[in-house]
Structure 1
């Protein structure tokens, strides 16, 4: 049985749950993290020494890192549009997934934590301004890509890249801040909202 360890309120856990939903996979979920079981317990650390969610467990096999888990799940299934087999098409999906994890996440971290989690309680105005500018700059880059494709991040087909970036776009839209007008982002968000799983894992009141 496939088991996903992690609280649903975690954006990284929701990536994995959304992927499972799109692939129609059966799984069990164990709630770990803030408000649930403590991830610094020895039995969790034995699965992920970073003490972070999500973790996938499938028999004796254990995997952590949310984007890697999403790729593993899709690759384990018969050919799916979520994760194309063609080498260049797959590389496009992976590039945008890596960009989300490495570049986009670092752009919003300080501002989001200050505005939505009250951490730090008295944030530095200069860092807030820098975070807002950086976050908007990265979303403008994404908007340019969406203008180019006219639909989803890598083209006409919904992929894993849209799962991870769709959650990020929702977070950008829900955070109190100044945002530039980006019609391509608005169109993309409306397109994602047509998917039932997006309502379950993005548009609810998740932090």
Structure 2
């Protein structure tokens, strides 16, 4: 199994965390690419993913790309029923929250953190305050939904961590970083859940160290 991945990327983090959580990481040939240097445009990656994006996993005659379905495939292949349940009701919940985070919640966080963290970190210009403000409105709308859902729950589906947490929580370290300017202060349940998630061993093993150091 070969994994094309990159530092800092929340999409790569969620897939790498699943591999750690399922004790599969030692079986993976990891190809860590420098996106800014254009290494992702290599012919090897383009042959496996026509989008030339990471994460991408090459597994025999299968090429796995797009983070959320890759996570589900890995879990089902490993028989990780507790971490990614297959009963129809639970699977619907997983797919619903994965769709929600990609289209709404994490999309807003991505727009904020791109302006406040990624651009300055890599010398790509000053943050666009108008874009930050616009994304902030969307963040508040969907963070309220998540905060309400987490009331009385330790994790997204109950008392145990699941693949749903790795998907919805993909930006946990970035959003919690003081430099991000993601307005988490009004969402105590989300903040507490992020802290629980960061303590999960598989998730902790994939923390974006460079960005955490940048906040110190």
TM-score range, shorter chain: 0.7 to 0.9
Number of residue pairs aligned between Structure 1 and Structure 2: 205
The answer (yes or no) to whether the contact 2:3–2:28 under 8 Å persists in 1 is yes
Q: CA deviation at 1:35?
A: 5.1
Greater shift in the superposed pair: 2-11 or 67-76:
2-11
Q: How does 1:37-76 map to 2 (within 5 A)?
A: 38-76=39-77
Report whether the alignment pairs 1:191 with 2:196.
Answer: yes
Looking at structure 1, the residues matched to 66 and 193 of structure 2 have their Cα atoms a distance apart, in angstroms, of 26
**Post-superposition CA distance 1:68-111 (Å, at most 9, x none):** 11010001012421110211111111211121122223212332
Question: TM-score, normalised on structure 2?
Answer: 0.84
Please list every run of 5 or more consecutive structure 1 residues that lacks an aligned counterpart in the other structure. Answer: none
Paired residue for 2:86? 85
**In structure 2, do the counterparts of structure 1 residues 111 and 37 end up closer, same or farther at CA, with 3 Å as the change threshold?**
closer
Paired residue for 1:106? 107
Q: CA deviation at 1:183?
A: 1.7
Looking at structure 2, the residues matched to 65 and 168 of structure 1 have their Cα atoms a distance apart, in angstroms, of 16
The answer (yes or no) to whether the contact 1:33–1:53 under 8 Å persists in 2 is no
The answer (yes or no) to whether the contact 1:33–1:52 under 8 Å persists in 2 is no
Q: CA deviation at 1:63?
A: 1.2
Secondary structure in 2 aligned to 1:201?
coil
Looking at structure 2, the residues matched to 131 and 122 of structure 1 have their Cα atoms a distance apart, in angstroms, of 16
The answer (yes or no) to whether the contact 1:136–1:180 under 8 Å persists in 2 is no
Secondary structure in 2 aligned to 1:91?
helix
Question: TM-score, normalised on structure 1?
Answer: 0.88
Q: Give the superposed CA RMSD.
A: 2.2
Please list every run of 5 or more consecutive structure 2 residues that lacks an aligned counterpart in the other structure. Answer: none
Q: CA deviation at 1:24?
A: 0.9
Paired residue for 1:17? 16
Q: Which has the higher helix share?
A: 2
Secondary structure in 1 aligned to 2:58?
strand
Paired residue for 2:138? 134
Looking at structure 1, the residues matched to 36 and 127 of structure 2 have their Cα atoms a distance apart, in angstroms, of 24
